[in-house]
Structure 1
């Protein structure tokens, strides 16, 4: 039962969607996506990578660490290439005009969104970090960088693209929303499933 159920589950999802992806400072690409099973599986894997990274988290001016955000995007870049390589040509079939595929969307995000950001900002941030005095806290030093607001603004633009990609992947994979999860409520408010008063929730 388990295996056939898993096979059926993986193949579920819409037979066709309209995919739209905003590209910062460039415009947008859109088209009809008729996903094959391999694309649904790849979509789930990439969706999971997106929702478990700093990539789709908003960075408030007084929170977050720019280095961590850039490192997360760099890792996501490499993971996306691995997923493309693993699934092979099945996720990038020849397409009629006005159509897109997993391969088209993923490579567009890599080459038009992530690569320019990382190529521009990684060396600049690294150069600034190398000037940090030993006694200065890395986070405080980073927040004192004159270019930090500009990088935050570009990260916010990239985040919007990644969230729109995640929404498209979610639809194709036929899975629930794992981005806007409800925030846990404090035990004092007695949410459903909370332990009784006096019972520890764990370490």
Structure 2
């Protein structure tokens, strides 16, 4: 984070500018300096909450979760992001000089260059495989036996890394605590309590 902190909306300390670098697999890099206005800080908070509470930023280990759920979670990021962009309007996508980025530029490019290619390729392939499942076969077992599952998991992981980098930038701009990688202290039980 570079530059001075300033008090943003709701009393949060937020940077006046940050450097952003998102590596997009097979595309390249989106990078630049972000000098957010208040509308971008508010939009950053909303999208950050969305990402922090979705499967899309949590590592999907081989023995966990369903690929279908992961794809569905990524799909819902589209609707939420579009709604945030509409709500805040042109204030989150102002014209900027080369080498600068905005909330709008980052959000739309992550959707179109990272999430959309994953979904457009894998949603139909997974659907075609799912319809082959016999009634007596468990959906989880069927999905895990798919020979293309490891390949899809690897691509989901690549997109997750992009979303994590975006979430980190959104977190800095919003000026809030980390909700994704924070370690939660273990709860201890009092003796005699269930």
TM-score range, shorter chain: over 0.9
CA displacement at 1:183 relative to structure 2: 4.3
CA displacement at 1:8 relative to structure 2: 4.2
For structure 2, list consecutive stretches of 5 or more residues without a partner in the other structure: 1-6
Distance across 2 between alignment mates of 1:6 and 1:104? 21
Distance across 1 between alignment mates of 2:19 and 2:192? 50
- Quote the residue 1:148 is aligned against: 149
Distance across 1 between alignment mates of 2:174 and 2:101? 15
CA displacement at 1:7 relative to structure 2: 4.0
Task: Give the alignment's TM-score, normalised by structure 1.
Answer: 0.88
- Quote the residue 1:89 is aligned against: 90
Distance across 2 between alignment mates of 1:198 and 1:163? 41
Deviations for 1:72-119, whole angstroms, at most 9, x for unmatched residues?
Answer: 000111111111111110000001110000000000001000111111
Does residue 42 of structure 2 align to residue 41 of structure 1?
Answer: yes
Secondary structure of 1:165 counterpart:
helix
- Quote the residue 1:62 is aligned against: 63
Is the CA contact (8 Å cut-off) linking 2:93 and 2:103 kept in structure 1?
A: yes
RMSD: 1.6
- Quote the residue 1:170 is aligned against: 171
Does residue 111 of structure 2 align to residue 110 of structure 1?
Answer: yes
Secondary structure of 2:16 counterpart:
coil
Secondary structure of 1:97 counterpart:
coil
Secondary structure of 2:15 counterpart:
coil
Distance across 1 between alignment mates of 2:83 and 2:129? 31
Does residue 186 of structure 2 align to residue 197 of structure 1?
Answer: no
Distance across 2 between alignment mates of 1:44 and 1:104? 16
